[in-house]
Structure 1
Amino acid sequence: MRNGTESVGASSSSSLSSQQDTEDDRMIALVLSEEYANLDGAVARRLSNLAPVPHVPKINSYIPNMNDASLDHQRLLQRLNVYSLYEVKVSGDGNCQFRALSDQMYKSPEYHKHVRKEVVKQLKDCRSMYEGYVPMKYKRYYKNMAKVGEWGDHVTLQAAADKYAAKICLLTSFRDTCFIEIMPQHQAPKRELWLSFWSEVHYNSLYDIRDAPVPKKPRKKHWLF
């Protein structure tokens, strides 16, 4: 009985610690979100002459082969150069869409788990808004999307736009579509989020080159000299 009691106590302690960590992340994200809530018009001014293509939410399907992906990437790099834009590169670990959104909202990609959780809650709570775009059992779709490492798609982008009342703008590598605009469906946008989209491969966070964040030097461990 003693071992059983110790096990229950340890489990309860672990659960409380996890809940506290989640609450801490939520509070930090809220503070940062309020701090960076002002519209960033610098990128918009760069692309003011481009006509945006209306967004059609869809799940991931076609993945380009290596040759097509390479050509697409070159096209994207050329567009970044033409419009004097700068990418903050995020990890390509399956979380890149959520990392890029996190960087735009909180000036750090590290809140991607919080962003994913909020987007999945939007998908779950507002099923009627997104179910028609998902050609599979909807519950299975949003449960899969809740998993860290699951690729975000154009349905999650629409859900993010709705959740955060944000106009999400994509500079893309598509041959015939340079600029896609994703608007919240039932409210006016309160902020703009800018991402680059290497089509069906990777998302990064996008800035006017004059506003490019200065990379932070990693902290030295106290035992390193």
Structure 2
Amino acid sequence: MSEQPDYARESSSSSVSSSVQDIEEDITIGSILSEENQKIDGNLGRRLSHLNSISHTPRVNGEIPDVDNATLDHERLLERLTTYGLAELQVEGDGNCQFRALADQLYRNPDYHKHVRKEVLKQLKHFRKLYENYVPMSYKTYLKSMKRSGEWGDHLTLQAAADRFGAKICLLTSFRDTSLIEIVPRDNTPSRELWLSFWSEVHYNSLYGADDLPTRVTKRKHWLF
């Protein structure tokens, strides 16, 4: 039997190394999540329990509103934040805002957005039959696009995030007729709530009570990135 070529051994070794690193990353992030879990869950659900929420339908992003409508939407969102005593932790608007906001709610650190996107992509890939009918394009093309940093998250990635992290995701929105949208995991009872503000088709931020808004500090990054 001929000896395996050097390049083949190197490729195999690289694949194994990559797989091991993926597992170690998941373990490390899991530890962070476990440590932070008790600190993150707040009382926003109780504070806004009087609001009627609507059922969530996963979908890709719609058209970005024109400047006039976007301005009105933003004013409406700001009024709701004031009315309900809420405040936004502003995250960077670099196309990763949904994942940054989720990372802040999960890990108290928006910089973990790459990991959140990675986990969402795993969910979308491994459970394709749950999601592909909501995508009006080639599912492979959709996944390839969503894998790129800077690609905007949509309501389908929110559903995948809820499923992946076992969380109910609550959106305080700028929609005229709908102030609250709740996205729940498909197959299990949510173990936590993640709160985001949603300036319709424009931007997501991480949401807190006005008296609980954390001061942004540079936290120690783990070796993941």
Could you state the TM-score of these two structures normalised by the residue count of structure 2? 0.85
Offset of residue 209 of structure 1: 1.6
Determine the structure 1 residue equivalent to 2:184: 183
C-alpha deviations, 1:75-111, integer Å up to 9, x for none?
Answer: 0011001111111110000000000000000000000
Q: 1:217–1:121: structure 2 CA closer, same or farther, 3 Å change rule?
A: closer
Which position in structure 2 is the counterpart of 1:103? 104
- CA distance in structure 1 between the aligned counterparts of 2:158 and 2:218, rounded to whole angstroms: 31
SS at match of 1:90: coil
Q: What corresponds to 2:156 in structure 1? A: 155
Gaps of 5+ in 2: 1-5, 221-225
Partner of 1:201: 202
Using the TM superposition, give the Cα deviation of residue 210 of structure 1 relative to its aligned residue in structure 2, in angstroms: 2.0
The DSSP-based 3-state class of the residue aligned with 1:63 is coil
Maintained 8 Å contact 1:29/1:111: no
Displacement after TM superposition at 1:217 (Å): 6.9
Superposed CA RMSD: 2.6
The equivalent of 1:29 in structure 2 is: 29
User: What amino acid maps onto 1:144 in structure 2?
Assistant: S
C-alpha distance in structure 1 between counterparts of 2:165 and 2:52, whole Å: 23
Count matched residues.
213
Name the counterpart of 2:134. 133
Deviation string for 1:114-148 (max 9, x for gaps)?
Answer: 00000011000001111111010111111110110
C-alpha spacing 1:25/1:213, structure 2 compared with 1 (3 Å): farther
TM-score, normalised to structure 1, is: 0.85
1:186 counterpart SS class: coil
Q: Which whole-Å CA distance do the structure 1 matches of 2:164 and 2:218 have between them?
A: 33
Q: Which runs of 5+ in 1 are unaligned?
A: 6-10, 220-225
**What CA distance in whole angstroms lies between the structure 1 residues aligned with 2:17 and 2:159?**
33
Give the C-alpha shift of residue 37 in structure 1: 2.4
Query: Which has the larger displacement, 116-125 or 34-43?
Result: 34-43
SS in 2 for 1:79: helix
Alpha-carbon spacing, 1:47–1:125, altered in 2? closer, same or farther (3 Å):
same
Percent of paired sites with the same residue = 58
Q: Which moved more, 1:166-175 or 1:27-36?
A: 27-36
